[in-house]
Structure 1
């Protein structure tokens, strides 16, 4: 196979941001322009539970089946052009997926080397780790895993990129992993191509930043962008490419002629997505996002530079999932007047009908909406969420109790859809384990095994780093408040962008300004206390505020907003995807001089 010039940037493309993303993306990335590495990210925390559940039901083998469908369309071209393929589609069994890829190559008449990375799966070693002093304590409340009283379904450590680098160095054309960090899919190929050392912290940190930007596919090219009306052709946005340079800097771009946009805004939005402290912890390096700078180098080209790195912590993050029971939900439509009284009647009737069959958790949420535009039908939507360890209590017993009320409740009673059956849900348990207790092994085409040692220099543990954040503090010293001027009340989003997401049971909201004047106002205005006023559901919770001055951004972590995590949360938006837009919609008093000329899309950050 051909190789690329080590002096040239390494063009790393993404073709998947999650299990279920656009199937055609792999073909588009390979056929629509030149790339050197094709990567795919498939494994959210919940995905591990889904793969385990389908395997237990005999409907899968613990791997990501859509990856093979994508690979079949491009594998021949990848071999012809020397494109390496790196994906975490191995899921719970990377060795099996590597076997599937070899079988696919044989069927297609292709000769190539396939390697896989293993060691992340700790499910069978939980007892051994506990006896060795690794209790897998919950990151937020410190409880040891043994206090659960249940057996976990998946336990996977987040490995770094050095196994991928070693597999490529040994000649692999396709590298399959299980649970690695999303950024490792870029760190590994970059370290391989440029011959980086394990202690090249700044270079590694630059690759982590690039990996964090492209890991979610089209979110880096205008998808889900706050300023979506400025994005051309969102009907079919292209997927992102990171052109990584030998010094760790990178340019985020996309293939020419594809939809979407790569701008300072689109890259900023992804940099603040699902992070906590600007010191972004990875197994290979701590990347200091508060030091990086962005520059609009040209149309659809944004340079990331200035990222600083330091030694990683001595621990690896561990994703534990266990079965939380079963859940169900029904939405009752309450039309006309007296919506609250009708809702109260229904709730009392349902409670009486369930009696001793009442599920362990029964929560209701009433939203009043207007359907059909201005002057349309006013109605209430009462969502009823139930959870219980016993499937029967949230299955037919629950749905029948609601259906039986159809002719004996309030006038106009109807549902948005027929009641569905109960389904299992997972609870996510984030924990830490000492890096030296987790094997990191590369298995090559010929069966040879290469063990990857943890990084030689390790920083402080994650728990200690988190403890340095004063949750009650509004953050670092504020910039001097802008001069007083007349104000106008407008939605916060008139001036700033935001993106939000989930980190286990916590949510994050990243907010950024588009110019220096807006940033100075934002830093002064949006304190923890102000955020709690604008988003009242955060008021009783711990909120941590962090600054990223290099990209004119603030990041807020709301601890516990999502309860036990995405699959267990009863919020209408269990992944907090809409929290940023909810914040931007709030009316606030903005200085008039900031609104006289709306900020243009930023070309460069300081």
Structure 2
């Protein structure tokens, strides 16, 4: 981490004369502070951005703040600033992060005090306007009406049975309610002279959009440019996801490539086109595959929404332009939607889980008996129908002719949610009552703490009119008081939301037999992909790596096929949307419903939907033999680029 002139960022005079270099340092609260320091010192950058907030983070902070156990902002965000501010000051890098969480003013004041103590020439600002807790609580209590659900625009979508529990404001009080803000208040803070901008709940890509908007002096109606920066922000917002983390093709590379990964950097030009890269000499990979994977992550179709712009990425181009350099182009922008997401987190009740093991012979019958025994015990006590959720799951499959007891063992998981602690505890008591009536070979972990009742938070994804939001920026004085406060105007124009595109192949399906001889192989042998969560929904994108393979994928990966590949996991209550990204050789799906009420209230082991892709890629299908040979050539090309 040297101090050579080549590592210093440009002076403010460079604004608009070249692409802006934006380095992201966080995608979740756990990313350590030294990642910010690395981004500041390993090479020249103009901005550092960071996304520290998951939907649950804000509500967790509120509860702890009420108990006097939390200051409301994210600790790792402060650790990054504490470690990096001197380097940031020397290189004149600007920072925009959402690590302020529920208390952006508090973190901004702490940063200002630290800068003063160190004698740093840094001005600090914070963004306000996202917190709607009191408004939502008051509205629910008075009107007994839910805000419009984020997915309510599609009449085919079915919501979870207990989706309206949030109306029970006495037993299930709202803990947090935050609107997803755009970039305009961050831009205002920068225009007021801020070097460090602390935000609460802004949309994940908003800090990146703001950095490019401010640098290039765009107007709010430069929609194509703003849309390009939105997609760039989406690519670098998630820690190391664009440089090799959560990458379905990782096994094609030396594993050391993905140890101690660097985070992504976006160079956004005045026209909104972007080059994604990382600092030279750091671990990880930036290529068309990592970028396609990250682009397909957490999408809700071909249109990406932000409070400042609507991006149509149907024709997005992703191309390799050098080692660890990938260009993004051809994004179309439109005015933003008239509403934005309103994340409402409330006390859902209590939950627990009980884990038990079964080994070997007659495993299916063992678990069937176990489930019957426990449900019968609860039924005789008059409790069976009193649970929000009482779900029994069997995880794993015993190996044929196992060579170890581990390989012969599966576990059963009772997942319990209820209104009271007593009901959750009753399941553990029932388990104890039947424990000595067990099947042959029954055993369990000696640590049963997961079975004890614990409160859980539930998520309601609502919407709020953008015109109801009063957001702005506050620049602090040296003593931490508010020096300048300026509210930003609402968007001048909105683009009305349409029903999301849902299509089968956009070209005439081809005969699968036309691709020649096939053999049984895993779908992942010829295709990569990415999946993730958005509220109740799983999104899943899959792509091939040769243009001549794409007509096969378009024909093969239909909605019906996806349902077949989901097998026993498919439920008729789910709904699927399908779109194509022909330039990316990709097909993308949104499966509405599998995650119930979102991450914290989800019954699934994979509550984030991240494992869905590799489950589907592990399914055995008929694959053209030629494709399997072609993929070996692709792998060799990727490795050659890595070592060049």
Q: Which category describes the TM-score, using the shorter chain as reference length?
A: over 0.9
- Which residue number in structure 2 is paired with residue 538 of structure 1? 570
- Which residue number in structure 2 is paired with residue 181 of structure 1? 203
- Which residue number in structure 2 is paired with residue 302 of structure 1? 326
- Which residue number in structure 2 is paired with residue 20 of structure 1? 30
TM-superposed deviation, 1:516: 0.6
1:550/1:4 CA distance change after superposition, 3 Å? farther
TM-superposed deviation, 1:273: 0.2
- Which residue number in structure 2 is paired with residue 431 of structure 1? 462
| 1:572 aligns with one of 578, 581, 605 | 605
TM-superposed deviation, 1:126: 2.2
- Mapping for residues 286-297 of structure 1, pairs under 5 Å: 286-297=310-321
TM-superposed deviation, 1:371: 7.7
Check if 1:600 corresponds to 2:634: yes
TM-superposed deviation, 1:179: 0.7
> Is the 8 Å Cα contact of residues 317 and 584 (structure 2) preserved in structure 1?
yes
> Is the 8 Å Cα contact of residues 175 and 347 (structure 2) preserved in structure 1?
yes
TM-superposed deviation, 1:545: 0.3
| 2:438 aligns with one of 404, 409, 413 | 409
- Which residue number in structure 1 is paired with residue 547 of structure 2? 516
TM-superposed deviation, 1:61: 2.4
Give the whole-Å Cα distance in 2 for the aligned partners of 1:260 and 1:492: 25
| SS at 2:242 equivalent | helix
- Which residue number in structure 2 is paired with residue 326 of structure 1? 350
| SS at 2:240 equivalent | helix
Give the whole-Å Cα distance in 1 for the aligned partners of 2:508 and 2:533: 27
- Which residue number in structure 2 is paired with residue 62 of structure 1? 72
- Which residue number in structure 2 is paired with residue 389 of structure 1? 419
Question: Could you list the runs of 5+ residues in structure 1 that have no partner in the other structure?
Answer: none
| SS at 2:86 equivalent | helix
- Superposition RMSD in Å: 2.5
1:468/1:43 CA distance change after superposition, 3 Å? closer
Give the whole-Å Cα distance in 1 for the aligned partners of 2:472 and 2:511: 53
TM-superposed deviation, 1:406: 4.2
Check if 1:366 corresponds to 2:394: yes
Check if 1:458 corresponds to 2:494: yes
- Which residue number in structure 2 is paired with residue 149 of structure 1? 168
| 2:104 aligns with one of 79, 83, 94 | 94
| SS at 2:364 equivalent | helix
Stretch moving more, 363-372 or 91-100: 363-372
Q: How many residues align?
A: 597
> Is the 8 Å Cα contact of residues 188 and 472 (structure 2) preserved in structure 1?
no
> Is the 8 Å Cα contact of residues 13 and 35 (structure 1) preserved in structure 2?
yes
| SS at 2:241 equivalent | helix
Check if 1:124 corresponds to 2:134: yes
- Mapping for residues 155-554 of structure 1, pairs under 5 Å: 155-232=177-254, 233-354=257-378, 355-356=381-382, 360=387, 361-370=389-398, 375-377=403-405, 378-395=408-425, 397-403=426-432, 405-420=434-449, 421-446=452-477, 447=482, 448-461=484-497, 465=498, 467-470=499-502, 474=504, 476-478=506-508, 480-481=510-511, 483-536=514-567, 537-540=569-572, 541-554=574-587
TM-superposed deviation, 1:373: 10
Stretch moving more, 138-147 or 496-505: 138-147
> Is the 8 Å Cα contact of residues 406 and 414 (structure 1) preserved in structure 2?
no
Check if 1:559 corresponds to 2:587: no
> Is the 8 Å Cα contact of residues 178 and 343 (structure 2) preserved in structure 1?
yes
> Is the 8 Å Cα contact of residues 206 and 249 (structure 1) preserved in structure 2?
yes
| SS at 1:291 equivalent | coil
Give the whole-Å Cα distance in 2 for the aligned partners of 1:587 and 1:77: 52
- Which residue number in structure 1 is paired with residue 156 of structure 2? none
| SS at 1:294 equivalent | strand
Give the whole-Å Cα distance in 1 for the aligned partners of 2:311 and 2:143: 30
1:594/1:392 CA distance change after superposition, 3 Å? same
- Which residue number in structure 2 is paired with residue 75 of structure 1? 85
Give the whole-Å Cα distance in 2 for the aligned partners of 1:218 and 1:507: 21
> Is the 8 Å Cα contact of residues 136 and 145 (structure 1) preserved in structure 2?
no
Stretch moving more, 407-416 or 586-595: 407-416
TM-superposed deviation, 1:401: 3.8
Give the whole-Å Cα distance in 1 for the aligned partners of 2:229 and 2:181: 15
TM-superposed deviation, 1:62: 2.0
TM-superposed deviation, 1:496: 0.7
1:4/1:129 CA distance change after superposition, 3 Å? farther
1:51/1:296 CA distance change after superposition, 3 Å? same
Give the whole-Å Cα distance in 2 for the aligned partners of 1:176 and 1:124: 22
Give the whole-Å Cα distance in 1 for the aligned partners of 2:228 and 2:328: 8
If the length of structure 2 is used for normalisation, what is the TM-score?
A: 0.88
Give the whole-Å Cα distance in 2 for the aligned partners of 1:441 and 1:104: 24
1:417/1:63 CA distance change after superposition, 3 Å? farther
| SS at 1:518 equivalent | helix
Give the whole-Å Cα distance in 2 for the aligned partners of 1:342 and 1:408: 12
TM-superposed deviation, 1:182: 0.8
TM-superposed deviation, 1:476: 3.8
Give the whole-Å Cα distance in 2 for the aligned partners of 1:43 and 1:560: 23
